[in-house]
């Protein structure tokens, strides 16, 4: 299964990258942009067919390594299974 771990800086933690991206978007004319936060998406292939186990291992990995709880929050999701063989792409 494919586990997706999304890591974002906590609300209120200064995000210099997000600020720089927001500045660039404003310069490109996207005046409607009011805030940008930049995070990380980590895509992990796990050898299991058990969705609950995959989520659980994703959360464990996030706690141990992928996110720093002082500054970051994380979310774990499973990527939708690929379309069955023969289906139109």
Partner 1 sequence: MSADGAPRVAVVVFPGSNCDEDAAIAARNLLQADVKMVRHDERALGDPDLVVLPGGFSYGDYLRSGAMARFSPVMESVAAFASQGGAVLGICNGFQILCEAGLLPGAMLRNDGLRFVCRDVHLRVETKRTPFTLAINKGDVLRMPIAHGDGNWTAERGAFEEIVARDQVVFRYVRADGSRGEGGNPNGSLDDVAGICNVQGNVVGLMPHPERASEDLLGGSDGGRLFKSFATTRLAMRGA
Give the residues lining the site for partner 1 (CB under 8 A).
Answer: 9, 13-14, 16-17, 20, 40, 65-66, 68, 70-71
Minimum distance from CB of 67 to partner 1 (Å)? 9
Give least dist CB 74 to partner 1, A: 12
Q: Are 56 and 48 in contact (CB under 8 A)?
A: no
Question: Please, which residue, 60 or 68, has the CB nearer to partner 1?
Answer: 68
Q: Toward partner 1, which CB reaches closer, 21 or 46?
A: 21
- Nearer to partner 1 by C-beta: 13 or 77? 13
Q: Could you identify the residue written with the tokens 């774990």?
A: 76
Find all residues with CB under 8 Å of 74, minimum gap 6, and list them: 5, 6, 7, 8, 59, 62, 66, 67
Q: Locate 9 and state its tokens.
A: 């800086």
Query: What's the closest the beta carbon of residue 21 comes to partner 1, in angstroms?
Result: 10
């Amino acid at each position: 299964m494919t586990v997706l771990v999304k890591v974002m800086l906590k609300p209120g933690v200064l995000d210099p990258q997000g600020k720089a991206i927001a500045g660039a978007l404003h310069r490109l004319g996207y005046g409607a942009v009011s805030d940008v936060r930049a995070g990380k998406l980590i895509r992990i292939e796990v050898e299991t067919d058990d969705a609950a186990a995959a989520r659980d291992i994703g959360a464990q990995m996030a706690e141990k390594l992928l996110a720093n709880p002082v500054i970051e929050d994380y979310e774990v999701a499973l990527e939708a299974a690929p379309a069955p063989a023969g289906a139109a792409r």
